[in-house]
């Protein structure tokens, strides 16, 4: 509504955001994209209100929201250049940069993000190295760009994605402007979108990274639908968008109900959630038979999952990236003078790396977590003993 949309278009944008497959099917995931998206959108709302009212209070609110967004996830740092681009590219809004409001917002956001900087300064710039280290290209692999485009086309919701495409085409033609005014959405999203495209030329862009711009895409698509609704085909496509989402989610539930063996030939997208109780019980049997006193993994996902399984009767620890946990409670103490099991995906677990951490490394074989063996569900198990370093403190990096 702040962008000039009528009530019907605003309602459609709200509905379409909720039937986009990423928020609909992935909103429950415990990832920082959820708060980052919330505060990203809150920042845009506050900036739009600040511009309309010329009130410094809304700029303060925008700064607070942007700061919380950047504390949620570093991708929110693209908000500042996006908003600056929008104000600079709009002749009637350039005067805003001559007032105190935008700079006060920047100061507040920077102050909040300073909490993150301070933490990093006292922890060897850990998260800066981890996250910003991804920016440096190590190869040219444009296949990831194709993967990004196809993946986002599906996750946005194929029908809504078509309207996003129509809106983009219309925005490039002066004779067919889109409604509502899209300049703020395009400009504020552009720096982040450019980064995702560039990143995809050398590495994979995870599906949920684009989540903060999904509300903008919903408004963008709804604006296009308003202009195209006079034609029956486009009107029917717009009405079908929620139905398509329901059908896809319904198919996913059917897939969950089927065994992975029956999905062998079409690919089982639900494999990550399958077979954990049985897998844990089998692993516990191996642990008891081998006399291992603890279980180690190479990924925090596997460690979290195994630690939550009732069948596991031994402490579970992620062996790599121990610096992630230095500020957390120690929890159950692990005695590394006793032997243990290291288990993780076969494609990820290697004997050579473990040999640098333990004097004795004995492979115990592989077994699958699901009905079908695949690189995504095949796990290797190693019996290890006689640690060569302080594993709890230094970890076992390859």
pLDDT of residue 213: 94
* Separation of first and last alpha carbons in the chain: 53
pLDDT tens, 360-372?
Answer: 999 998 888 877 6
CA distance 249 to 306: 27
pLDDT tens, 265-313?
Answer: 455 667 777 788 999 999 999 999 999 999 999 888 888 889 889 999 9
Whether residue 244 has pLDDT greater than 50:
yes
Q: What is the pTM of this model?
A: 0.81
CA distance 366 to 381: 6
pLDDT of residue 264: 57
CA distance 231 to 33: 37
* Paired residues of 385 in beta bridges: 360
Which pair of structure tokens corresponds to residue 31?
């990832």
pLDDT tens, 41-82?
Answer: 999 999 999 998 888 999 999 999 999 999 999 999 999 999
pLDDT interval class at 318 (50, 70, 90): confident
* Paired residues of 317 in beta bridges: 296
pLDDT of residue 175: 46
Q: Are strands 358-368 and 316-318 parallel, antiparallel or unpaired?
A: unpaired
CA distance 240 to 255: 22
Task: Rounding to the nearest 10 degrees, give the CA dihedral for residues 8, 14, 18, 19.
Answer: 30
């Amino acid at each position: 509504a702040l962008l000039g949309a009528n009530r019907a278009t605003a309602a459609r944008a709200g509905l379409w955001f909720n039937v986009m497959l990423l928020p609909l099917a992935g909103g429950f995931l415990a990832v920082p994209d959820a708060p980052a998206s919330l505060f990203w959108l809150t920042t845009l709302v506050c900036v739009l209100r600040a511009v309309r009212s010329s009130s410094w209070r809304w700029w303060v609110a925008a700064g607070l929201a942007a700061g919380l967004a950047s504390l949620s996830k570093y991708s929110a740092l693209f908000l500042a250049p996006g908003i600056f681009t929008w104000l600079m590219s709009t002749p009637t809004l350039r005067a805003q940069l001559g007032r105190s409001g935008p700079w006060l917002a920047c100061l507040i956001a920077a102050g909040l993000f300073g909490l993150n900087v301070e933490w990093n300064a006292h922890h060897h710039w850990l998260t800066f190295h981890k996250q910003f280290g991804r920016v440096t290209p190590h190869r040219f692999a444009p296949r990831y760009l194709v993967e990004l485009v196809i993946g986002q086309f599906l996750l946005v919701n194929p029908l809504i994605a078509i309207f996003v495409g129509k809106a983009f085409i219309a925005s490039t033609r002066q004779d067919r402007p889109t409604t509502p005014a899209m300049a703020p959405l395009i400009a504020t999203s552009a720096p982040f979108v450019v980064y995702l495209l560039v990143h995809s030329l050398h590495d994979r862009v995870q599906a949920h990274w684009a989540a903060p711009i999904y509300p903008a895409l919903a408004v963008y698509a709804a604006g296009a639908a308003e202009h195209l609704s006079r034609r029956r085909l486009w009107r029917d496509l717009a009405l079908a968008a929620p139905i398509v989402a329901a059908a896809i989610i319904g198919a996913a539930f059917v897939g969950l109900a089927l065994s992975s063996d029956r999905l062998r030939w079409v690919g089982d997208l639900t494999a990550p959630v399958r077979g954990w109780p049985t897998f844990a019980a089998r692993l516990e049997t191996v642990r008891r038979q081998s006399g291992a006193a603890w279980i180690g993994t190479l990924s925090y996902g596997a460690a979290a999952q195994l630690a939550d399984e009732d069948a596991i009767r031994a402490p579970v620890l992620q062996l790599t990236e121990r610096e992630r946990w230095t500020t957390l409670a120690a929890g159950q103490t692990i005695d590394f003078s006793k032997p243990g099991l290291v288990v993780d995906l076969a494609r990820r677990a290697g004997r050579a790396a473990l040999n640098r951490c333990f004097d004795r490394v004995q492979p115990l074989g592989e077994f699958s977590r699901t009905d079908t063996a695949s690189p995504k569900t095949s796990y290797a198990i190693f019996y290890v003993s006689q640690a060569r370093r302080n594993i709890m403190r230094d970890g076992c990096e390859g």
